[in-house]
Amino acid sequence: MSTHFETLQQSAAYPDGFSVVAPADMGPKDIWPRKPSFFIRHVESPQVAAETSAERIEVGPGPALSTSSAPATSATSATAVHRSLFVGQFGLVPAWVKSASDAKLRSTKLVNARHETITTSNNFRDAWLAGQRCIVPMMAFFEDDLRSGKAVPTRISRIDGKPMGAAGVWCRWVGAGDEEIISFTLLTVNANSHALMHRYQNPGSEKRMPVILSEGAYDAYLSARPEKAKEFMRPFATERLHANPVERKADKVPRT
């Protein structure tokens, strides 16, 4: 499972990599389950993007994050797809969850969604079929190398140093008293045959990796029909990834 990723910490990376305005503050560098981070989704018009881009949201433990006060939008000539930056909790809270306490328990287990069961899983099906897809900007994600018998945290990034856009789905949960949680999960694919990613995670278990989208596919993924969007579920090329062991896990998972 990909439960830890690294966010963009340079303002220029947002417009350069994703054609959206950078957030007002970059937020924490290391993201774990139930931590707030940024995701990109499409909106129907620039006006909607302008209205939502100034949101300031607090989700779970840690500081609130806010997106920029300027419209964070991008449009294609073929289809009016306008990208907008949002804040959400890492770890999906399905809309049908009954209480905030149940949301807390479920979300830590719903940070990844298998693309093979996205249309049948009760946890993710409704968001996927409703077109609630998103792109999660990240500089890297982390996996444990357990081949030596000892967990060696390893940072996986693009070999060219550019940010990655991971495919995800998002959801809005509303509880009693209009309590609201905006959340997202990362979509994953099988990586058993991936020349790099097959090294990581528990020996003997199925290997998984996040779906890393090519830059030219961002708008198509966000706007495609559900059945068409599945065509983007493929492993990122091995030769475009770099793995670097790190001395320790930064900001270990907090107790909540």
Q: Are 219 and 84 in contact (CB under 8 A)?
A: no
pTM over 0.75: yes
CA 168 – CA 244 distance, rounded (Å): 24
pLDDT tens digits in sequence order for the chain, 256 residues long:
899 999 999 999 999 999 999 999 999 999 999 999 999 999 876 554 444 443 444 444 444 565 643 444 454 434 455 899 999 999 999 999 999 999 999 999 999 999 999 999 999 999 999 999 999 999 999 999 999 999 999 999 999 999 999 999 999 999 988 899 999 999 999 999 999 999 999 999 999 999 999 999 999 999 999 999 999 999 999 999 999 999 765 655 544 4
Residue ranges per structural domain of the chain: 5-235
CATH class of 5-235: alpha beta
